[in-house]
Amino acid sequence: MDNMAKLQNSGVPKQQKEIVRFRFHFQGTVQGVGFRPFIYRIADKYGLKGYVQNNTQGVAVEVEGRPQEISAFEGEIDGNLPPLAEVTVRQVQEVEPKNSDSFQIIDSRDQGEHSVHICPDVAICDQCLEEFFNPSDRRYLYPFINCTNCGPRLTIIRTIPYDRTNTSMAEFPLCPSCLEEYQDPLNRRFQAEPNACPDCGPQLSLIDSKESKLEVDNPITETLSLLSEGFIIAVKDLGGFHLCVDATSDPAVKRLRRLKNRPEKPLAIMVDSLETAKKIGQVGSLEEKLLKSPQRPIVLLPKREQKLLSKSIAPGLPNLGVMLPYSPLHHLLLSGSRKILVMTSANLSHEPICIQNQEACSRLAGIADYLLVHNREIVVRCDDSIIQTIGNQCQMIRRSRGFTPKPVRLRKSYEPVLALGGELKAAICLLKDSYAFLSPHVGDLASPQARDFLEESIELMTRITRTRPSVVAFDHHPAYFSSQLAERMSDCRKIPVQHHHAHVVSCMAENGLCGQVIGLAMDGTGYGLNGRVWGGEFLLADEADFERAGHFAYYSLPGGEKAILEPWRIAAALLRETLGQDWRRIAEVLRLVPQDMSFDLVEKMLDSKVNNPLTSSCGRLFDAVAALLGIRRQVSFEGQAAMELEALAKDHPVERIFPYQILEEQGFVFDWRPIIGCLVEERIHVPIEELTAIFHRTIGSALTEVACRIRERSDQNRVVLSGGCFQNRLLLKTTMSCLQKNGFEVYSHCQVPPNDGGIALGQAVCAGERIRRAIYRDTV
């Protein structure tokens, strides 16, 4: 509508002019998404002349004709955009008529500064799927079918502009039939860069772990029968390899866990259809929408009682990570009688997902029995994304395939900044103008391979945005690999950002908030500015700066890192902190300390001056409470105990809360000791579900009370919730409703993860804002 208005306001008395010409410019995700043929078809429909052309800034269109036809042309663009296109900026301007006699699609122009957004990879579209299953189609069951609306994008791109020659499809010259489609503006494969068919495109083959090709007629049927026999197959797909096994077979799943050395961490599964998803998990309307979305993330679904699945998929946890097929190859693996497969990223722990055939053979040797591969190179590693829902909101847990490199749109425009993120769940972020481009998920930077991948990601993001920032933002933690990498960037200005400030700013950025807010960063651990391990933080923050207005009372982490996997250690520390010497008696009753440990040894650990840091972590408090309640004293992955704690409390109605104190020292200190005292006292006679529910509710009210006290002092009414603990849906819901009841405006994450996967965004915006302010100061 507003374009119509623009046209009418452009000062052209339209009745008097026979022929007019208008120039449009579209920016955003407008290349590689069928935008030009879309414009061509509409121009053609209204008999308009002129051209459409890709350039480095987006797509330029000039149309010439009668004013009413041009209005109709404009009106038809609105609301009819191709499914993957997103227009972020549109300019309209009247120009002199040129007497064009046709409408043309002109070749790409590659010059000047780039501001075209690369499209993420997209699940196969319905039209392609129909052809795929049509026996008379020339692409019948061809696993690399795609069109302008679907298929690989980011994962095949070597550089921009996005043209076939700049992708890993360059090795596959188009056959005459494919070329015809590619060149025909009215064909739905017009300039579909990955266009391919069985005659000219990539091919599948089945190999063993020694890279020898199996001589079989049909690699798919062979794979299906190997899966039925319980074998583990590594499957190469869009953004990397998956390890697949039959999800209904307990021995097969257990074998995969044993070989992958992943005893309990949940495994993602892929199901053939929504119907199957509904049999194994609870699918609400939002979950259904997410499962079917072109991004096809893994969606966390509350488990249903059923006998279909192996019990070893997500033992002890309330949710299943489920996705629907997104590539044509998946449809082949899940057609017929097979309805559920385990589909977990093919990597060793702390290593990135495998993408090359040779790499997969050597790294997966000893895990995968066979590998189903293809001969198209994966240029960019891209893991599956993970999303959960909270009420009618969605929350990203891992933002990767389907979403990257789609930028987060910001309220302000910034100088280019590169932000390197943290150490766990690493991802980088590149700030350019008013967009923040997050890289695919890199993972934990513990292995040399993961560190290489981080550097690969920097290379990738600078290449596809054509930006070489001269500012690098990173975490204060001196031992993070990313911080050390930043220190080595000699030609960059370095801006360190405190971990929890970065969390809060990332949430502000995605919600378009500027200025001061109350930031609650409820997190595992992060480097504090006073050298302590921070983690339960109340900040009074804006984009550039913060004040630590409060925090959780400190406690010790006996054994340091070890305490993360052995929460009983933290529980012992909390008990002694709460009960003094009486702690031994209670610990004995609770059987908290492992049998091979003496109390004297534990005391020694608690008193140790080395490897026993003080922390204000929120996450570790949850782990410790799980240990105190006997839910789990040791874990096999971070956050496991807290997840089980949440699961137990789920939906248990409670009215009361435990006592706690808010002390005023240098800021507010949330003293949790009274809570611990009550928990161990009531453990004897109150059901554990009730205690865990009360605990969550207590934390929610304590957070609210501190927020109220900060509001009294600062007059700020906006509260921003970030940090990994807010993946706990119950904690998030309880805290939000409690804050809202107290009149706060509450903001949480949706587009980027609340965990460390999102902090690069906060770092980037924080650094960008500091530079903006410096420039502003200099010019005043």
Which of Zn ion, Fe ion, none does 150 bind, CB closer than 5 to 8 A by kind?
Answer: Zn ion
Q: Which of 109, 332, 345 is nearest to 223 (CA)?
A: 332
Q: Which of 301, 338, 330 is nearest to 123 (CA)?
A: 330
Nearer to Zn ion, 327 or 701 (CB): 327
The residues, any chain, with a CB within 8 Å of residue 217's CB and separated by 6 or more, are none
Distance CA 140, CA 45 (A): 32
For the bound state, the minimum distance from the C-beta of residue 429 to Fe ion, rounded and expressed in Å, comes to: 15
# chain residues binding Zn ion, by CB under 5 A: 10
The residues, any chain, with a CB within 8 Å of residue 549's CB and separated by 6 or more, are 518, 538, 539, 540, 667, 668, 706, 710, 713, 714
Question: Judged by CB under 5 A, which of 119, 178, 340, 759 binds Zn ion?
Answer: 178
Distance CA 452, CA 44 (A): 49
Nearer to Fe ion, 193 or 756 (CB): 756
Asked if 557 contacts 543 with a C-beta cutoff of 8 angstroms, the reply is no
Nearer to Zn ion, 149 or 457 (CB): 149
Nearer to Fe ion, 195 or 748 (CB): 748
Which of Zn ion, Fe ion, none does 523 bind, CB closer than 5 to 8 A by kind?
Answer: Fe ion
445: contact with Zn ion by CB under 5 A:
no
Which class for 290: exposed (0-12), middle (13-18), buried (19 or more C-beta within 10 A)?
Answer: buried
Asked if 646 contacts 596 with a C-beta cutoff of 8 angstroms, the reply is no
Nearer to Zn ion, 293 or 511 (CB): 293
Distance CA 137, CA 160 (A): 32
For the bound state, the minimum distance from the C-beta of residue 481 to Fe ion, rounded and expressed in Å, comes to: 16
Which of Fe ion, Zn ion, none does 281 bind, CB closer than 5 to 8 A by kind?
Answer: none
125: contact with Zn ion by CB under 5 A:
yes
Nearer to Fe ion, 563 or 602 (CB): 563
Q: What count of other Cβ atoms lies within 10 Å of the Cβ of residue 171?
A: 10
Place of tokens 């005391």: 603
x/- track of binding to Zn ion for residues 144-163 (CB under 5 A): ---x-xx-------------
Q: Compute CA distances 456 → 117, 407, 427, 428, 448, whole Å.
A: 19, 19, 11, 11, 12
State which of positions 189-218 bind Zn ion (CB under 5 A).
Answer: 197, 199-200
Q: Compute CA distances 10 → 14, 51, 92, 123, whole Å.
A: 10, 21, 9, 41
Nearer to Zn ion, 175 or 750 (CB): 175
For the bound state, the minimum distance from the C-beta of residue 299 to Zn ion, rounded and expressed in Å, comes to: 22
For the bound state, the minimum distance from the C-beta of residue 147 to Zn ion, rounded and expressed in Å, comes to: 3
654: contact with Zn ion by CB under 5 A:
no
129: contact with Zn ion by CB under 5 A:
no
Of 169-177, 359-367, 380-388, 721-729: span binding Zn ion (CB under 5 A): 169-177
Asked if 304 contacts 325 with a C-beta cutoff of 8 angstroms, the reply is no
175: contact with Zn ion by CB under 5 A:
yes
Of 92-100, 178-186, 251-259, 560-568: span binding Zn ion (CB under 5 A): 178-186
Q: Which residues bind Fe ion (CB under 5 A)?
A: 523, 526, 756
Asked if 87 contacts 81 with a C-beta cutoff of 8 angstroms, the reply is yes
Nearer to Fe ion, 163 or 756 (CB): 756
Q: Which of 100, 10, 105 is nearest to 47 (CA)?
A: 100
Nearer to Fe ion, 86 or 756 (CB): 756
For the bound state, the minimum distance from the C-beta of residue 159 to Zn ion, rounded and expressed in Å, comes to: 24
Asked if 468 contacts 491 with a C-beta cutoff of 8 angstroms, the reply is no
Which of Fe ion, Zn ion, none does 48 bind, CB closer than 5 to 8 A by kind?
Answer: none
238: contact with Zn ion by CB under 5 A:
no
For the bound state, the minimum distance from the C-beta of residue 619 to Fe ion, rounded and expressed in Å, comes to: 9
Q: Which of 475, 471, 437 is nearest to 457 (CA)?
A: 437
765: contact with Zn ion by CB under 5 A:
no
Place of tokens 């589909």: 343
For the bound state, the minimum distance from the C-beta of residue 507 to Fe ion, rounded and expressed in Å, comes to: 12
Which of Fe ion, Zn ion, none does 125 bind, CB closer than 5 to 8 A by kind?
Answer: Zn ion
Which of Fe ion, Zn ion, none does 147 bind, CB closer than 5 to 8 A by kind?
Answer: Zn ion
Q: Interface with Zn ion by CB under 5 A: which residues?
A: 125, 128, 147, 149-150, 175, 178, 197, 199-200
